[in-house]
Structure 1
Amino acid sequence: MNLATMLAARAESGRPIRIGLIGAGKFGTMFLAQLRRTAGMHLVAIADLAPARARANLAACGWPAERYAAGSFAEAWQHGTTFVTDDAPSVLAHDGIEMVVEATGDPAAGIRHCLGAIASGKHIVMVNVEADALAGPLLARRARAAGVIYSLAYGDQPALICEHVDWARTCGFEVVAAGKGTRYRPAFHRSTPDTVWENFGLTPEKAARGGMNPKMFNSFIDGSKSGIEMTAVCNATGLTPQPNGLAFPPASCTDLARVCKPAARGGTLTHKGTVEVVSSLNRDGTPVANDLQMGTYVVVEAGHPYVRHCAEEYRMLPDDSFEHMALYRPIHMIGLEIGISVASIALRGEPTGAPNGFRADVVATAKRPLAAGEVLDGEGGYCVWGRQMPADRSLALGCLPLGLAHRVTLKNPIAEGQVVRWRDVAIDESDPGVRIRREMEAVFARPDALPA
């Protein structure tokens, strides 16, 4: 617990962590709000497709104008200020930057930026969990080969869940389940940007006031984001997905150990050592009391009568048998916490979660009957949602990853609830995102590529 002390030492020695940020949207701006107040960090540059918007977001989160008035990299470097540009490759290549935070949310762009950072010898914090779900295992492998660190972003739920799992194993517990909460009903799989605010429990006016993007927020409601994030967790922790993906059982914070355990022991899971997302809504739409909608959790086994007695004595949120115990965090602070990743990498040489195998995938699944000739519109859109699936099954079926189900034309009709396969769409095999995904599938299909 000494990252702040180590950051202060870097500041005092005049050697702050030199950072480049790609993407100054909501997540990036939340990071900026805390970065300006964190000793030992210097944001050398921001790359955003709309530099004027990036400057407006800097102002909105409290940055004085003189701190981002630099007209060049050299000026930013010399005066400790920040250069704002729309030229992401120049940020990736700049010698004065040691770490890149990728926060665009676009899987193709995220892969491109990650590869550029690795080629330039820079560590990468991958806020872009969409890119991680699409090709993270291969990207992390390339980073390790290049001697740099690839990391999930602390503050986002996958990294926090990875921390729960690491805590449990370090304490000698066997992990039964880990995951997060969300707002879910089965009908939400058909949600579109036109129905998202009703399903989200927000008025259109409140959504507009918050500048919320309906397509992005729809990915939270239709189940896609949950599939993406739990895929990242499986690939980073060794937990394995359930055969049919996430079931989204309703559960309160105090019921986690009763619900998130194998069905053979009275719970809802198919097996031990898996992931699950719990719903803050009952199936009839009524709210779950004391819900975990914004939080994360882990359920562990006691493993011995003495530990079961401890679980009872100290009220460790056990199930009725005291064999299963839960630990949860009620909230996550998203981009406000990403400084933990930056500091952990630069000062300890440790990622805050990173994929080490290809165990899970998130595949495009039809929201409604789809006709040949329709053009898919990707995550959070009108056509498909992302279902989590074991990676070996996804490969065997030839499923189309959700991250590539954007601006591609269907060759075959797809029934509602059915997965889309590579053979069902017209794919440009020269597309960089397609090429890197194909490479990952080829690499990790080999038995020797999987973790022991």
Structure 2
Amino acid sequence: MGLYEQLIERERSGNPVAIGLVGAGQMGSGLVSQVALMRGMRVMAIADLALDRARHAFTAAGVADDQIVEVSAPDIADEVLRSGRRIITRQAQLLPHLAGLEAIVEATGVPDIGAQIAWATILGRKHIVLLNVEADVTVGPLLKRMADAAGVVYTGAAGDEPAATLELWNFARTLGLEVICAGKGKNNPLDRSATPETVAARAHEVGASPKMLCSFVDGTKTMVEMAALANATGLTIEKRGLHGPEASVADLPRIFSLRSQGGILEQTGVVDYAIGVAPGVFVVFTSKQPVVIDELRYLQMGDGPNWVLYRPYHLTSLETPLSVARAVLQHEATIAPTCGLVAEVITVAKRALRAGEQIDGIGGHTVYGLVDRAEVARCERLLPLGLAQGAILKRDVAKGETIRYDDVVLDESQTIVQLRRLQDRLLAA
């Protein structure tokens, strides 16, 4: 039985998949409205510090205002869910413990909150779907291990670029094709010094958070997404920060080939990105089988020796309900760090920083991220970007300089810091 048929069966049985959502921003609100169009699942609870935003996410999806109840206590929340009404709350930690929910979607984009909610959801024996890739690349291997032990699914989200690229990678490797490079397009001009203020006008135009848009423009989001792809596939990082050439789709097989073939790569089996092919994702592949090569040429895929698979879209949070359905109905992850920590997103000073300054985190004024091989980051004691927010610098750091563990005092109150320490011990063992 396919996923659609399974959802129809849940609808017919009067037992739709019940979802809790943490974060009612652009991504979360899109998910709520998309689920409202589907059969066999319902978003039943939303947690957000801004209750008006949570309420609007429901009403925009067609939920009557008198069917939305603000709650703060678990017993009342479970009673509301049993009555079929929807919940809004400021208390995100409430959702993982509600008996009436089967899966939690975390969509805040804040690494520490993502880690907190994922951990609580796993302890609550519920499936967790992270739209928070920043948390995943920091403590995902530990969270996956704990979810496996608890018998629940830990997964990233369909519609995000790592998951969309993984679909193409799985297609290629299942057919026995050799993957040269897998990656995504980037459509924002790269500006490592971008701040929320410098992108504010553009953010207002497109209806996005300036901080979120800043993380795209300064390249951090691309680094995070490619780290997640590497951790899911085992594909490696050839160069700190990746190559990121300008390219058209037709250029990809030529550019992402070995130097001996006129390309930019020293090795195959890597992740990277290209400017100019967004919003799509791609896999560059090759084959040594003469009959397969002839067939590819006959199918007008190009002359070779490399070819490209290209998906020209990814629907972000509009696809995320598919990950919820796969987790609940098929006990299957869409994307997860099954290869452990292959890549690390490290912390780099966006401007000259002074001893005593506090790092403001992703999409802010102080740092950006670059991806590198995890063993390099470990050897050089480079600070994972997901741990940087709230850290206090112990020394001056020059613009463009990498920040190390020894350069900062971490915020030990953060869940993500404690989980990362545990993950490091487990991986070392």
Question: What is the CA deviation profile of residues 298-326 of structure 1, one whole-angstrom value per residue up to 9, with x for unaligned ones?
Answer: 1111222222212211122x4x5x12111
The answer to whether the Cα contact below 8 Å between 2:255 and 2:263 also exists between their aligned partners in 1 is yes
- Match for residue 336 of structure 1? 318
Letter in 2 for 1:325: W
Give SS of 2:359's match.
strand
1:358 is matched with which residue: 318, 341, 362?
A: 341
Question: What is the CA deviation profile of residues 169-191 of structure 1, one whole-angstrom value per residue up to 9, with x for unaligned ones?
Answer: 112212111111113656x1122
1:270 positional shift? 3.1
The answer to whether the Cα contact below 8 Å between 1:44 and 1:73 also exists between their aligned partners in 2 is no
- Match for residue 419 of structure 2? 436
The answer to whether the Cα contact below 8 Å between 2:346 and 2:382 also exists between their aligned partners in 1 is yes
- Match for residue 214 of structure 1? 210
| Alpha-carbon distance between aligned partners in 2 of 1:35 and 1:66, rounded to the nearest angstrom | 20
Mapping 1:247-262, distance limit 5 Å: 247-262=243-258
Letter in 2 for 1:443: L
2:400 is matched with which residue: 417, 420, 426?
A: 417
| Alpha-carbon distance between aligned partners in 1 of 2:9 and 2:256, rounded to the nearest angstrom | 43
| Alpha-carbon distance between aligned partners in 1 of 2:120 and 2:94, rounded to the nearest angstrom | 10
1:241 and 2:237 correspond: yes
The count of residues paired between Structure 1 and Structure 2 equals 424
1:209 positional shift? 4.8
- Match for residue 46 of structure 1? 46
Uncovered stretches (5+) of structure 2, i.e. residues with no partner: none
The answer to whether the Cα contact below 8 Å between 1:184 and 1:248 also exists between their aligned partners in 2 is no
- Match for residue 16 of structure 2? 16
1:207 positional shift? 3.1
| Alpha-carbon distance between aligned partners in 2 of 1:434 and 1:134, rounded to the nearest angstrom | 9
The answer to whether the Cα contact below 8 Å between 1:100 and 1:117 also exists between their aligned partners in 2 is yes
- Match for residue 230 of structure 1? 226
- Match for residue 190 of structure 1? 193
| Alpha-carbon distance between aligned partners in 1 of 2:427 and 2:82, rounded to the nearest angstrom | 45
Question: What is the CA deviation profile of residues 266-322 of structure 1, one whole-angstrom value per residue up to 9, with x for unaligned ones?
Answer: 222232111011012xxxxxxxxxxx2211111111222222212211122x4x5x1
Letter in 2 for 1:328: Y
- Match for residue 288 of structure 2? 303
Question: What is the CA deviation profile of residues 336-376 of structure 1, one whole-angstrom value per residue up to 9, with x for unaligned ones?
Answer: 11111011112211110111211000011122222222222
Give SS of 2:129's match.
strand
Mapping 1:48-197, distance limit 5 Å: 48-69=48-69, 72-183=76-187, 188-196=191-199
**Identical aligned residues as a percent:** 41
1:56 positional shift? 1.7
| Alpha-carbon distance between aligned partners in 2 of 1:184 and 1:37, rounded to the nearest angstrom | 31
1:235 positional shift? 0.7
TM-score by length of 1: 0.89
Question: What is the CA deviation profile of residues 74-103 of structure 1, one whole-angstrom value per residue up to 9, with x for unaligned ones?
Answer: 454334331111122221101121111111
| Alpha-carbon distance between aligned partners in 2 of 1:337 and 1:429, rounded to the nearest angstrom | 35
- Match for residue 201 of structure 1? none
The answer to whether the Cα contact below 8 Å between 1:10 and 1:16 also exists between their aligned partners in 2 is yes
Q: Which runs of 4+ in 1 moved over 6 A?
A: none
1:133 positional shift? 1.1
1:375 and 2:378 correspond: no
1:270 and 2:266 correspond: yes
TM-score by length of 2: 0.94
1:14 positional shift? 1.8
1:43 positional shift? 2.1
Counterparts in 2 of 1:64 and 1:254: CA distance versus 1, 3 Å: farther
Letter in 2 for 1:326: V
Give SS of 2:268's match.
coil
| Alpha-carbon distance between aligned partners in 2 of 1:337 and 1:185, rounded to the nearest angstrom | 26
Letter in 2 for 1:243: K
The answer to whether the Cα contact below 8 Å between 1:362 and 1:388 also exists between their aligned partners in 2 is yes
- Match for residue 395 of structure 1? 378
The answer to whether the Cα contact below 8 Å between 1:249 and 1:268 also exists between their aligned partners in 2 is no
Letter in 1 for 2:118: C
How big is the alpha-carbon RMSD for the aligned residues of Structure 1 and Structure 2?
Answer: 1.8
| Alpha-carbon distance between aligned partners in 2 of 1:300 and 1:65, rounded to the nearest angstrom | 52
Counterparts in 2 of 1:345 and 1:163: CA distance versus 1, 3 Å: same
| Alpha-carbon distance between aligned partners in 1 of 2:204 and 2:219, rounded to the nearest angstrom | 22
- Comparing 149-158 with 44-53, greater Cα deviation is found at 44-53
Question: What is the CA deviation profile of residues 235-292 of structure 1, one whole-angstrom value per residue up to 9, with x for unaligned ones?
Answer: 1111111232312111111221111223232222232111011012xxxxxxxxxxx2
| Alpha-carbon distance between aligned partners in 2 of 1:444 and 1:234, rounded to the nearest angstrom | 17
